[in-house]
Structure 1
Amino acid sequence: MSSSKIKKIHFVLNPKAGNGSPLKIFHQIEEELKSNNVQYTVFKSQGRRDIFHHVMSGDMPVCDVLCSMGGDGTIHETADALMQSGKANDFPMAVIPSGTGNAFAQTLGELQPKKAIRKILQGEAIKIDAMEIKQGAEVSYAVNIIGWGMASKVNQISDQLRALGGIRYNIASLIGIATMKKKRLALRMNQEVIDEDALLFLALNTVYTGKGMKMAPDADFSDGLIDIIMFKSANKLQVINIFLKLFSGKHIFDPRVTYKQVESFSLLSEGDELNIDGENQGSTPIDVRVIKKCITLIK
């Protein structure tokens, strides 16, 4: 007799994430689904944005939960499509950790796939925030991070090191530090305008980013706030010292680090590349605001 409160799950799965982990992990959790008499359907992406277009389309089957399997980019496609399509009100979302970084899942507090699916089947739900991003006439949504400067550059480097697995984020960070250059940061937040050289800007909805980096220790999915991290002026040795503190969250006490919580902000410069939820996409200028408790997450 099944004790599961969830009776039907639709999985959206990126087979290429995490060096092929999602398919292997799906087969591991399949026994939990069968033993609990849970019906399930699976959509496997074949390329970038496939999951986004699938969720946006009319092909989505009726289900109790839409479950994302892949990396943080897969979660982004799922959540962004739910918000853009208006389906966030109809389809609760869940996550099985199966990527390389799994920052979103780590913030949720469960990195073991079998334990994650057992929790999902119990049906406990929370409402989480999203960041609405306006880039000209385009509107999209992020649930993890928006990165500028080194945060974008490091992500580009890590993309080229995917074969190395999770350690690629740390290696990419060190390469980024070795080659770092300041850029002009034009930023408006809390009625304050900042226009000066800076190394890194991150807006976060999650505690973690990369592989285990506790970037925003006070972040909360559901607090209605965006956590802002900035590194302004620092030399390479100082940035290395900050980097070593990222895994404990103690970097926020470094005098070179700014840590704030806001409801909205704008990046005003022209043509600077962005890292949105772990994907290199879009460019400044952007206007961002928090949309409070707009996605139902089964955890």
Structure 2
Amino acid sequence: MQVLFIVNEAAGNGKGKRVWCHLQRYLTIDYQVAFTEYEGHGQELAKKCAEDTRTKKLIVVVGGDGTIHEVVSGVLHNEFIIIGVVRAGSGNDFARYFTTFKNVKQIETYLQTEMANKTMDVGTIHLGALRHEIFVNNAGVGFDAFVTKHINKSRLKFYLNKIGLGKLSYAVAVVRGLFSFERFDVIIQANEQEWQFQQAWFVAMSNHPYFGGGMKISPSSKPNDGQIEIIIVHSIPRLKLLLVFVTVFFGKHTKFKEISFLQGNQFDIFVHANDVDCHTDGNYLGEIRQGTRIHCTVQRDAWQLISKNY
């Protein structure tokens, strides 16, 4: 069995390097390793590994949600590639729901089995006619992407990671941005139905429950049911939104009348505002122009994940 470790040493402000050094010390199997060197490199490495293969390969990702996003993007609909993950990021939302490896023993035990796996969906957003992006965990338009943009610019995440509190960077950025974000109106269409929301904070598209470093934004989401959940936070005062974010960590926000949930296999989203931010899996994509059609769909059985059988 061929094994490739794709390692992002910079993940979690250096946690990726520390985790890999620890793993490497105890590995007794034959393996290859490749290190990501720039944004998008994980996708290139995974795609190269998957090319022309006719036997099962295990790719073990050592990194965070962004690295996982890149690797999965590079192996979509490849029947021979199985993905395993050793978490080494700061938010690690993927690891809160999906099966991951905790140590070398689990990796080596898995390789001694019949390599059982399960297929997972990915979401896809089409931004106009020319650009599309996938998401493994979730995508978002509005405040969550606005927060992501400012986290990426800030040194706060770096310092919080240094003391093991990196996941709090999202919550701190939420409080900071609460009074500067401009809300927007949005129209969502699906199956000849239309929903209009005023003063929206964000529209989140979820393939599994967690985002933002542990917030259980979409408790009912399952990554292999052929459905995408849309969560719209709208018409809510700024200070009350802070209360909502606290309850999201426990999945209790579903009781608020200002939070709406939609479910389906495709949606069209139209934002009525100038330049609203957008992200996928915490990767900031840029600003969406007013009137842009955001077409959200799901790709069934798009990639293979290890099964927990060790």
Query: Given the two structures, how large is their TM-score scaled by the length of structure 2?
Result: 0.84
Q: Please state how far the C-alpha of 1:70 moved relative to its aligned partner.
A: 1.2
The residue aligned with 1:3 is none
8 Å contact 1:94–1:120 — kept in the other structure? Answer: no
CA separation in 2, counterparts of 1:142 and 1:79?
9
- What is the distance in 2 between the residues matched to 1:46 and 1:209? 25
| Residue pair 1:152, 1:274 contacting (<8 A) in 2 also | yes
Alpha-carbon distance between aligned partners in 2 of 1:215 and 1:97, rounded to the nearest angstrom: 21
Root-mean-square deviation over aligned CA pairs: 2.4
1:145/1:203 contact within 8 Å kept: yes
* More displaced stretch, 219-228 vs 128-137: 128-137
In structure 1, the partner of 2:3 is 9
Q: Which runs of 5+ in 2 are unaligned?
A: 161-165
Task: Measure, in 1, the Cα distance between the counterparts of 2:294 and 2:105.
Answer: 38
> Conserved in 1, the CA contact under 8 Å of 2:206 and 2:229?
yes
Q: 1:169 to 1:112 in 2, by over 3 A?
A: farther
Further displaced range: 117-126 or 202-211: 117-126
1:94 matches 2:84: yes
Give the CA deviation at 1:110: 5.2
Q: Select which of 41, 62, 65 maps to 1:50.
A: 41
Larger helix proportion of the pair: 1
Distance in 2 of aligned mates of 1:89 and 1:132 = 20
Give the Cα separation in 1 of the matches to 2:106 and 2:192. Answer: 41
Hey, what's the Cα distance between the residues in 2 that align with 1:109 and 1:65?
Answer: 14
SS of 1:248's partner is coil
Shift of the alpha carbon at 1:60? 6.3
Deviation at 1:125, TM superposition (A): 1.1
Asked whether the equivalents of residues 79 and 142 of structure 1 are also in contact (C-alpha less than 8 Å), the reply is: no
What is the identity, as a one-letter code, of the residue corresponding to 2:4? H
Which stretches in structure 1 are left out of the alignment for 5+ residues? 1-6
Paired letter, 2:232? M
CA distance in 1, matches of 2:101, 2:167: 13
Q: 2:134 aligns with which of 124, 141, 156?
A: 141
> Residue 129 of structure 1 aligns to which amino acid in structure 2?
D
Amino acid at match of 1:272: V
Contact 1:25–1:113 (CA under 8 A) maintained in structure 2 = no
CA apart distance, 1:69: 1.7
- % identity of equivalent residues: 24
TM-score, normalised on structure 1?
0.87
CA distance in 2, matches of 1:59, 1:294: 14
Aligned AA (2:295): D
Residues 163-182 of structure 1: pairs in structure 2 closer than 5 A: 163=158, 164=160, 165-182=166-183
Structure 2 equivalent of residue 40 of structure 1: 31
1:106 aligns with 2:96: yes
